[in-house]
Structure 1
Amino acid sequence: MSEEHPIPQDDWETIVDSVPLVSVDLVVRHGDGVVLGKRTNEPAKGEWFVPGGVVRKGERLDEAVHRVAEGELGVPVTIQRRLGVYEHFWDEADVESADGKHYVPVGYLVTTDADELAPDDQHADLRTVAPPVDGVDLHPYVRDYFVDAGVLSDGE
């Protein structure tokens, strides 16, 4: 059990195998762009994705946003607005026995004035990209967030 995973492994496996996970995903405006992290774990291992994490029991959504930003990026953020509720279905999971992972993320648009970002162990790298996000193959879930946040137009 770690700080990022306060649930014992056996319990985590049962949860992932049985129910959707409520999470927050963050579209982080930083400088002239938005932040993407290259994931080191499933789902979306090896892909550039927005920071995000599971909401803990008793934790308010806004509190989860701030905890995730501090934990995954090492910076404080200011919440601009809630983007909405999404559904993400993954064929992969960090639990071998699970048949994929099901998330119900609440998307947020946030900003940070921090000069430097500090990736956690879930990210091999962090990158601030400027729209139209040239040079990065955006996952469809990320594209949806960017369109809803006004970072990309629907046709980009």
Structure 2
Amino acid sequence: MSEWIPEEEWETIVRNVPIPSVDLVVECPDGFVLGKRTNEPARGEWFVPGGRVKKGEELGEAVHRLANEELGTGVEIHEAIGTFEHFYRTSEIGYEKHYIAHGYHVWSEETDFEADNQHSEIKIFEESLPDFHDYVDKYFRSVDPRNASI
């Protein structure tokens, strides 16, 4: 599995092809888990955990890896909620980004999460969700239409 892509090659990838990724709608006993992003795209916004799929990595493996990397915990995959396209005008390298994101509704028994280097904070939201990116709303609608813009 690939680990690191040199910056020049990453720029070529971002400039020319969509990036396969997984995004996790994490539900736990206290509600839904969101992270406030510190990097582009969507810097400063509440977003679901997730990231790119590495070459040779199956989607389910990526779900478990990213849950461990971004939340420090394992998750149980409840269901695949669909494939989503994300288009961002900004990125860490100055080019527009295009993601083909595979959404998963997952469950964690944890209720205490630590922010990684991509998030300034991780919070659990039970009743009312904060203002968050439009793409997050689409994920919540896919999990349960009643959850949209709780």
TM tier, smaller: over 0.9
Q: How far apart are residue 88 of structure 1 and its match?
A: 0.5
Q: How far apart are residue 50 of structure 1 and its match?
A: 0.3
Matched, 1:118 2:114: yes
> Where do 5+ consecutive residues of structure 2 fail to align?
none
Q: Which residue of 2 aligns with 1:25?
A: 23
Q: Which residue of 2 aligns with 1:6?
A: 4
Report SS of the residue matched to 1:63.
helix
Report SS of the residue matched to 1:64.
helix
Alignment coverage as a number of residue pairs: 149
Mapped to 2, the partners of 1:36 and 1:155 lie a distance apart of 14
Superposed CA RMSD in Å reads 1.7
Mapped to 1, the partners of 2:119 and 2:148 lie a distance apart of 27
Q: Which residue of 2 aligns with 1:149?
A: 143
Q: Deviations over 1:41-71 (max 9, x none)?
A: 0000000000010000000000000000000
The answer to whether the 8 A contact 2:85-2:98 is kept is yes
Report SS of the residue matched to 1:87.
strand
The answer to whether the 8 A contact 2:22-2:101 is kept is yes
Aligned-partner residue type, residue 66 of structure 2: V
Structure 1-normalised TM-score?
0.90
> Where do 5+ consecutive residues of structure 1 fail to align?
none
The answer to whether the 8 A contact 1:88-1:105 is kept is yes
Deviating beyond 6 angstroms after TM superposition, the runs of 4 or more aligned structure 1 residues are none
Q: How far apart are residue 8 of structure 1 and its match?
A: 1.1
Matched, 1:16 2:10: no
Identity over the aligned pairs, expressed in percent?
Answer: 47
Structure 2-normalised TM-score?
0.93
Matched, 1:102 2:124: no
Aligned-partner residue type, residue 118 of structure 2: Q
Select the residue among 127, 134, 147 that pairs with 1:131.
127
